[in-house]
Amino acid sequence: MDYHLRNGGIKMQLAFFDTNVPKKAKRQAERYMSNYRMIEAIIESKRLELETTMTTNYAPSETQRGNQFHSETERIAYVRLEIEEYDRVKKQLDIVYKALHPKQREIWEERYIAGRSDISIYTEMFIPDRSYYRLKRDMVAKVADALGLIETNYKKLAE
């Protein structure tokens, strides 16, 4: 661990947190960040899908006539698993979002949810482009790490 003096105090920097994220993990993390507001709507939509299929239907269905590989019960179980996965991702994103620096939250909102360009955001925020991209890179690394999209040094050390 590295120690740095800052404003008269000691700030501990975690040397094992690497902000260099592989391109694939970065794209996945950014996709999750872009869909952050939609995840709740997807969860509710899937829950409604379950509610509408819980009615009893005595008419012959396609699965009864043909050689189908899944039943309605299996489909419902699969949808429930999808809901659990979306719920888990939403909770993880909530935790990361709340833990971010306010400027990083603003970048997340403006870049990934509102879809604005990087240059318009850092110009409006009155921060240098280098600082903006450092904050953005750090934020994407935190999201990717929280979602388990990258293998970090401390995971390698634990093995």
pLDDT digits (tens, 9 = 90+) for 73-84: 888 889 999 999
| Average pLDDT of the segment spanning 49-71 | 61
Q: Is 141 helix (H, G, I), strand (E, B) or coil?
A: helix
pLDDT tens-digit profile of 60-70?
Answer: 655 555 555 56
For residue 103, is it left (φ>0), alpha (ψ between -120 and 50) or beta?
Answer: alpha
Does this model's pTM top 0.85?
A: no
Q: Pick the range with the lowest mean pLDDT from 5-9, 59-63, 91-95, 102-106.
A: 5-9
Average pLDDT, the chain: 80
**pLDDT score of 16:** 44
| Environment class of 39 (CB within 10 Å of its CB; exposed 0-12, middle 13-18, buried 19+) | middle
Give φ, ψ of 11 to 5 degrees: -115, 125
pLDDT tens-digit profile of 11-33?
Answer: 334 434 556 888 999 999 999 99
